[in-house]
Amino acid sequence: MKRQTIAELRALQRLMAQAVMRPLSPSYRMRRRWSDGSPTKEIAASFIKPNDRLTSFDRLEIYNRQYWLRLIECFYEDYPGLRAVLGENRFRDLAIAYLAQNPSTHFTLRDLGGKLIEFIQTDPRWTKPRQELALDMARLEWAHIEAFDNDAKPPFALDELLGREAARIHLRLQPHITLLKLAYPLDNYLIALRGNSRLRGEASNAIGDLPAQARRRSARLPARQSIQLAVHRHQNVVYYKRLTVRQYDLLAAIQTGASLEGALQTLPKTGVMPPIQTWFRSWSALGWFWM
């Protein structure tokens, strides 16, 4: 009897999760038909009681809408740049299509956009004709999330490397650092767009409707221009630091596990020697390295 009760509870939990996580209708209401074509009101009545004000369908719809509106709201807050690139309607369509294919599977909504870059790459219809620009923006905004949330290891002082062979030195970049090559200079654009935007609220807040079309700071989309960036955190603030091609290649080699000697071999063998010591002093002062 006890086993049967546990099995029934699990079946009820699965049914409730399926109902809550079902995509909304085009009018952003709960769908009238279940996945097998039967009336949703019959499914709702099978496990939810009505009250003196709401039917079983109405009560279930509250949870279904709150789930989706919360996810969409978080998407709006995490990707203001992508929203500006695509416009309100196309961004909303992208958000709903993405979330329907990649529902939340973690207790924190921080990971909600973890597959967005891949989604844009494999299904460009949602971002055409600005797919390259949209992809760059999604990469930058995901790097911003990573920089804000990821761990920071105890930094390593370069003075500790004195007397050691470069071939045996393996530095590591902090987990919160993302190196990016972008086709558009979106760093300053996103800074202007975000301004002092607040962080997303608590996940328990009830949402009354779809996010409003809030006024955004006027910022013109930048023209195409390749840049290299290090997105990082310093004293609990996220920064976008531009890099030269040589700096990027050097740091990328370190990030992929090359020894210091191997990383230095990415630099040109001829021409003016770059100020490598100055670079490393600056990066070390920011706490970028650990071992």
Where do the domains of the chain lie? 1-78
Q: Are 99 and 71 in contact (CB under 8 A)?
A: yes
Closest CA to 280 of 197, 176, 199, 169: 169
Closest CA to 176 of 201, 146, 205: 146
CA 93 to chain centre: 17
Tens digits of pLDDT across the chain (291 residues): 466 688 889 999 999 999 999 999 988 899 999 999 999 999 999 999 999 999 999 999 999 999 999 999 999 999 999 999 999 999 999 999 999 899 888 888 889 999 999 999 999 999 999 999 999 999 999 999 999 999 999 998 888 888 899 999 999 999 999 999 999 999 999 999 887 443 333 333 444 566 665 445 557 899 999 999 999 999 999 999 999 999 999 999 999 999 999 999 999 887 788 999 999 999 999 999 998
What is the predicted pLDDT for the residue at 213? 55
What is the predicted pLDDT for the residue at 107? 81
DSSP structure string for 162-212 = TT--GGG---EE-TT-EEEEESS-HHHHHHHHHTTPPPP--TT----SSPP
Q: Are 94 and 127 in contact (CB under 8 A)?
A: yes
What is the predicted pLDDT for the residue at 272? 83
What is the predicted pLDDT for the residue at 229? 98
Q: Are 65 and 28 in contact (CB under 8 A)?
A: yes
